[in-house]
Structure formats: structure tokens, C-alpha cells
Chains A and B, each alone.
Chain A
């Protein structure tokens, strides 16, 4: 058995997504648990593209609209994410400021870049480096969820700080856009099947 051969292409074998039973890829259903059997995730690339596009579109309102409104003695202040980073920095909370800058602004952008690289390299059959692509995929899958931290900050502050006209904090429209952006970018990574990176690898051997 050659070491550089995918089970599907070399031996026509597939493992059940549900119970991991290795079996003939030609079967319609798993021999053990009767779950539908597919060697690759279906419509993986199409789904990844559409989720990614949705996430990128949502990134715009998430950053332009206010993420929270602070109302203090009748005086209302609207805060955007970038504004929050600047305010925290000016107050001397450098660490928190950097965490938010990283989690809310940089990580989503890095994730878009990574997913664009992976999706377009599959779409146009370029950048045939499965090892690097798998590494990029793993990092993307792991860090994406940490962007959610700003949504939690807003939701938590809004439920805690409700003192009527003295001081109240309300979530802004960007909070929802931001949550949607993170959810859709997680779905994009979820729906991309890393096995396809290795299919072209063998053809090039």
C-alpha cells in the first residue's frame, strides 16, 4: 500500500461520517449504521463560498455601525468596535485594547484571507501544497470562534448595566451583524472538506 494515496482514490474506500466504519465507497448507506455514505462532503466548495461571501458582507456593517450605545444622564454615546479599541488604549488598558483589536478586527480579516486562499486554490486548481493548506485550515478552524468575544462583552454589559436614566447600556445593530459574521465564517470553515486538498496532490505525483 503506497503511503501517498487517498483511501477513496486508491482503494475506493470511504469511512462513514457517523460511525467511522471503513467500507466500499460505492455503497449508498453505511453497512453498520445505515447512515448515507459519502466519500467527500457534498457541495463542500459551493457551501464554503456562499458562507464566506455572507461573512465578508456582514463585516462591513459590523464595523461601521455602533456596537453599543451608552446612555448616561440623558447623554447618549455611540461606540463602534474601532472606537472602543482607541478609547481603551487612551485609558491605558493596553492589554484589553490589544485583545479586542486582535479578536474583533484582525482575526476575522486573517480568516477571510485564509478561506479565500483555500477556496480559490481549490476552485482554480492552483497552490497545490496540501501540507500548508491543511495547516492553514487547522488554524482557521481553531481561532475563528475567539472573534465572538466582543459580542459577549456587549450582551453582558447590556444585561448588567440597566440603571434607567442614571446609566444604561444598549446593544447596537453592529452586535448582531458581528455575531452573524462570526457564525457564517465558522460555517464556511466547517463546510470546507480538507480531504479535497489531497486529491490533486496525488494526481500531480
Chain B
């Protein structure tokens, strides 16, 4: 079999079975006949959705750094904390390892994600891609499970219940902006299918190559 003939094939990520996948109609998914894992999913209008969700997420992220994140009061004393301060205070407490971990998980990684997603969607739309663009898709696919923003939210809710008998904790505008940021980030991520986007990138790279060769 030559290289082009294998173009319509996919090897299952989980059980290594070779399957042929034709062009999937929008909204359909291909299931591995052996392990029943999802091979690939063709989302409706995926590129535009990724772009819109990604850019909305970037805007929400900006807002979540502009206002109060949470404030608390106990016996007349009040305190306001912003999103970046939650990490900064850990540094001041000399809990450096924990502080670095928190900055990566709740700030750096989500920010990196929305940046890369928006950039990738724009570059596919403008057809300015190279085989290196696929590297970004791979990074997204790999780091997906390390984005723990929704778990951080559960953590905040538990924290509020834990201290509710002693202090009065209230969330601010930035907290809701950060919540929306995570909703849009997850919405953008669910519209990303590595196989479909890789296929689109490959096709553009080949076409660009051919038009170069033609001149």
C-alpha cells in the first residue's frame, strides 16, 4: 500500500485496530469496531465554534483579572482577594511548591490553552499552517486532563461550606467571569477533534505545496 492509499485510514488510539474512515457527515462519530472507543468525531461547524468560544474565553479571562474574586468578613474585619492574589499569597507564605503548582494549574495552563486554541483556529481559517501546527494539537490533546479548573471550582465551593460557620465568604464579579471562562474553554475543547483538524491541516499543507510546485 502506498502512502496516499492509507490516507483514509485511522489506527485506534486504544486498541491499535486499523479502520477506514470516509468523510464523516457533520455531527457524526466513528466508533472502533473492536474496543468501542470513539475514533473521531465530526463536529458541526467546528472551526467557527472553536474560534468563537476561544475568543470569548479570552475576554472572560481578562475580566476575571479586573475585579474582586472573593471577599470575606469576620468580626468586622474585611478582606478582598483577586485571582492572582490567591497564588501570590501562597508565595508570601513560603509555600513555593504549592504556589507554583497552583499558578500552573489554575492560571498558566488555562491561559495557554485558550491562546493556542484561538491561534490554531485562526491559522487554519487563514490557511497559514505547517506540519508544526499539528504539534499544537498534540499538546492540547495531551494536556487536556491537566486542566483542572472545574475541580478548582468544586474546591472553592467546599471551602466556603467548610468555613461558613466561622466567616462570611462572598464571591465577586471576577469569580463569575472566571467561571464563564472555564465554560467557554471546555466548550472550545469539546469541539476539537484531533483527527479531523489534523486532516484539515494536512490537506492545506499539501495544497500549499502543490501551488508552490506549480509556479
Q: Are A155 and B11 in touch, CB under 8 angstroms?
A: no
Q: Are A198 and B16 in touch, CB under 8 angstroms?
A: yes
Could you say which residues of chain B place their CB within 8 Å of the CB of A39?
16
Q: Are B95 and A171 in touch, CB under 8 angstroms?
A: yes
The list of the 6 closest CB pairs from A to B, nearest first, reads A152-B155, A7-B18, A33-B131, A15-B11, A159-B89, A6-B16
Other contacts beyond A134-B35, A134-B37, A198-B15: 16, CB < 8 A? A1-B18, A3-B33, A6-B16, A19-B134, A19-B202, A32-B131, A34-B131, A131-B35, A149-B154, A152-B154, A152-B156, A157-B159, A160-B169, A166-B77, A186-B145, A195-B16
The answer, yes or no, to whether A86 is at the interface (CB within 8 Å) is no
**With A and B bound together, what is the CA distance between A5 and B19 in angstroms?**
11
Could you say which residues of chain B place their CB within 8 Å of the CB of A199?
16
Could you say which residues of chain B place their CB within 8 Å of the CB of A1?
18
Asked whether A156 and B156 contact (CB < 8 A) given A20-B198, A166-B75, the answer is yes
The answer, yes or no, to whether B10 is at the interface (CB within 8 Å) is yes
Which A144-166 residues have a C-beta within 8 angstroms of B? 144-146, 148-153, 155-163, 166
Q: List 5 A-B contacts (CB under 8 A).
A: A7-B16, A22-B9, A31-B3, A39-B16, A99-B158
**With A and B bound together, what is the CA distance between A3 and B19 in angstroms?**
9
Could you say which residues of chain A place their CB within 8 Å of the CB of B155?
148-153, 155-156
**With A and B bound together, what is the CA distance between A33 and B105 in angstroms?**
30
Chain A contact residues, majority secondary structure:
helix
Please pick, from B131, B166, B167, the residue contacting A19 in the complex, using a CB distance under 8 A. Answer: B131
Which B128-178 residues have a C-beta within 8 angstroms of A? 131-132, 134-135, 138, 145-146, 148, 151-152, 154-156, 158-159, 161-163, 165-167, 169
Could you say which residues of chain B place their CB within 8 Å of the CB of A190?
145
Q: What is the interface of chain A, defined by CB distance below 8 A to chain B?
A: 1, 3-8, 10-11, 13-15, 17-23, 31-34, 39, 84, 88, 91, 93, 96, 99-100, 130-131, 134, 137-138, 141, 144-146, 148-153, 155-163, 166-167, 170-171, 175-176, 179, 186, 190, 194-195, 197-199
**With A and B bound together, what is the CA distance between A6 and B33 in angstroms?**
12
Could you say which residues of chain B place their CB within 8 Å of the CB of A151?
98, 101, 155
Q: What is the interface of chain B, defined by CB distance below 8 A to chain A?
A: 3, 6-7, 9-11, 13-18, 33-35, 37, 70, 72, 74-75, 77, 79, 81, 85-90, 93, 95, 97-98, 101-102, 105, 131-132, 134-135, 138, 145-146, 148, 151-152, 154-156, 158-159, 161-163, 165-167, 169, 194-195, 198-199, 201-202
Q: Are B90 and A6 in touch, CB under 8 angstroms?
A: no
Q: Are A23 and B148 in touch, CB under 8 angstroms?
A: no
**With A and B bound together, what is the CA distance between A197 and B101 in angstroms?**
33
Asked whether A159 and B35 contact (CB < 8 A) given A167-B166, A195-B16, the answer is no
CB distance from B172 to the nearest CB of A (A): 12
Could you say which residues of chain A place their CB within 8 Å of the CB of B194?
20
Could you say which residues of chain A place their CB within 8 Å of the CB of B75?
166
**With A and B bound together, what is the CA distance between A174 and B215 in angstroms?**
65
Q: Are A175 and B98 in touch, CB under 8 angstroms?
A: yes
Please pick, from B72, B87, B165, the residue contacting A91 in the complex, using a CB distance under 8 A. Answer: B165
Q: Are B86 and A160 in touch, CB under 8 angstroms?
A: yes
**With A and B bound together, what is the CA distance between A149 and B16 in angstroms?**
34
Could you say which residues of chain A place their CB within 8 Å of the CB of B10?
15, 20, 22
CB distance from B152 to the nearest CB of A (A): 5
Q: Are A18 and B138 in touch, CB under 8 angstroms?
A: yes
